[in-house]
Chains A and B, each alone.
Chain A
């Protein structure tokens, strides 16, 4: 009999790390909705943002800046890097490839991934850099209910909080700003949007910029948890199955998908892992996505597609 307390602890831990997948998945959804590009490079963008931030922080603190000033400047620097990246990607890759089929665009983002990874590591270095933005100790709750209580990482709570703020902010941005509305128009039909005078390349720049900033947010949380390092890109890759499960075009889907994957893989690892050799986390998300694809190809929250000829 598995203790309820242990199960709850694993479930909560899983849901919390699921929030992190959701954070990256959000970036994917934004770009996919607005430009139909399935952006393999989102993980590389998290790495780039994280490296830019942590290296700038190290440098500024070494120069004697106070911690808060270093953080403000560091985030500003990383945001500027992401803006430049977004501009370059739109200019050099996505712009020229407009109207190409989805597969070509996807492969081009694999190309972008390689360039970003190579450039990020060449410029900012390729070690593991610890990032300390959020507290990393833990709370123990319900100590009266369960023996030893349930462990909750403060960082996970921070991550959930930030994700919540981010989603709310994005929702406001989409609903209440001119750019946000234009963005939704482009997402519906970019040719029609173009013909009513919405500047497509500006919109796509904004989308990639927002995705870049979402990547930066994800990088702050993940960097604190694991240190900023190359393997972050592999974790970020899990946003792909998360999206498939949630549905490619749905922001709530991205969140729900992240939670399902996060909780599912932790529970599978803890309760199933020992009997089949462990390390299930490595593939669980992908195989779950495959199963969802077979049953419901548009994902749990996606819209059904009608084909036309």
Chain B
């Protein structure tokens, strides 16, 4: 009886167009945000279960938030605009390395012109956001082929981005400030005088990024631009005939998606990894992101969170459960099992429920609204 919308009449279109038109959903979201922003940090500060150590924050919540952010970005391109991308990892890398360069100062000697371009080290927030912008720029560049080629061809174009930037960051020492090992250390995370250091602070930082991005992204996808993206995805020819310019729709999708993925990449490098190598953003990362989006739900912001959580939790469970049962698995077996589980799940969901777990959840909610009388 709790989940009812009786007597919740909407008297304006604005109310009908709210993110969560049903009051119970709004309350639930409020509670969730309250727990995330206040509850968890309090528990963690006082080391109350399950926050005995920092494990939960470091190993689960932090990567969850950042990957969810990257998944939102990927979902905008793949789920909403229908442009397949196997290069999200590369765009994370572009975000990370651009932010790194900007935060440590850019120096481009142009000897033959007799001068050099020098930008002093920028504040960390500006670096991260500009890193996202750099990714957006490259995203637009690699989106241009999407105007002439469709679907599968684009998969190869984005693979080109993936392999090319893998190589660039590995082989062009300028990007790593000539670090002999090729590994890069994040600059100090100083936000307007506040230095982010402890796991709780890092968690809150990422949570803020994710919350703001999720809201803005949700606004976009339910506005006119979102409808343009989905129109291109569902039937590009009809979209064009109602006045949607494929150029604008596709390139904005590439730009917004790459921006978010780029910011996620910068956070992944600066806040989660601390020091990293190009390997952190390989093709495997791209495929992981694609899987999160398919499993969570193509064309669903909420699904991006569900997918990220799932991809993170499965390997942990594969480690934990057999160990608890007294038959610990080797790391190799876990990796293989994980591949098999993800692969079969992808196939299963594509066949049974192409819109992923998010769709299953909304079907569940639909049933709950009518429960116990389904008619």
A–B in direct contact per CB < 8 Å: yes
- Determine which of A93, A279, A290 lies in contact with B160 in the assembled complex, contact meaning CB atoms within 8 Å: A290
| B290 near A110: Cβ-Cβ < 8 Å | yes
User: 1/0 per position for B169-205, CB-CB distance to A under 8 A?
Assistant: 0111000000000000000000000000000000000
- A294 within 8 Å of B by Cβ? yes
Query: Would A241 and B156 count as touching, CB distance under 8 A?
Result: yes
CB distance from A167 to the nearest CB of B (A): 23
B147-158 vs A, CB cutoff 8 Å, 1 = contact: the mask equals 011011101110
Q: Is the CB of A93 within 8 A of B347?
A: yes
Contact residues, B51-107 vs A (CB, 8 A): 82, 84
Given contact pairs A110-B290, A278-B171, A293-B156, A117 touches B339 in the complex (Cβ within 8 A):
yes
Q: Are B237 and A93 in contact (CB under 8 A)?
A: no
Check B248 for interface membership: any CB of A closer than 8 A.
no
Query: By DSSP majority rule, is chain A's interface helix, strand, loop, or mixed?
Result: helix
A283: Cβ under 8 A from any B Cβ: yes
Q: How far apart sit A35 and B148, CA to CA, in the bound complex (Å)?
A: 23
Which residues from B are CB-within-8-Å of A97?
350-351
User: Which stretch, A99-107, A149-157, A208-216, touches the partner chain B?
Assistant: A99-107
Q: Is there a chain B Cβ closer than 8 Å to A205's Cβ?
A: no
- Bound CA span A27–B178, Å: 43
Minimum CB–CB distance for A223 against chain B, Å: 20
B163 to A115, Cβ gap below 8 A? no
Nearest-Cβ distance from residue B178 to partner chain A, whole angstroms:
13
Chain B interface residue count: which class? 35 or more
| Chain B residues within 8 Å of A241, by CB | 156, 159-160
Please tell me if the beta carbons of A115 and B351 are within 8 angstroms of each other in the complex. no
A118 touches B148 (CB 8 A): no
CB pair B171–A111 under 8 Å, yes or no, is no
The answer to whether A110 touches B340 (Cβ under 8 A) is no
Contact B346 A107 (CB under 8 A): yes
- Contacts of B155 on A, CB cut-off 8 Å? 38, 106, 240
Q: Which of A233-254 contact B (CB under 8 A)?
A: 237, 240-241, 244, 248
Contact of A106 with B237 in the complex, beta carbons under 8 Å: no
User: Taking CB as reference atom, which chain B residue is nearest A308?
Assistant: B237
Can you sample 21 A-B contacts with CB below 8 Å? A38-B152, A38-B155, A97-B350, A101-B151, A102-B152, A106-B84, A106-B155, A111-B344, A112-B347, A114-B340, A117-B339, A118-B339, A122-B336, A240-B155, A248-B152, A279-B170, A282-B163, A283-B160, A283-B167, A286-B160, A309-B238
Name B residues whose Cβ lies closer than 8 Å to a Cβ of A.
Answer: 82, 84, 144-145, 148-149, 151-153, 155-157, 159-160, 163-164, 166-167, 170-172, 237-238, 287, 290, 294, 332-333, 335-340, 342-347, 350-351, 354
Q: Which 4 residue pairs spanning A and B have beta carbons closest together?
A: A114-B343, A118-B339, A111-B346, A115-B343
A binding-site residues for B, Cβ under 8 Å: 38, 92-93, 96-97, 100-104, 106-108, 110-119, 121-122, 126, 237, 240-241, 244, 248, 276-280, 282-283, 286-287, 289-290, 293-294, 297, 307, 309
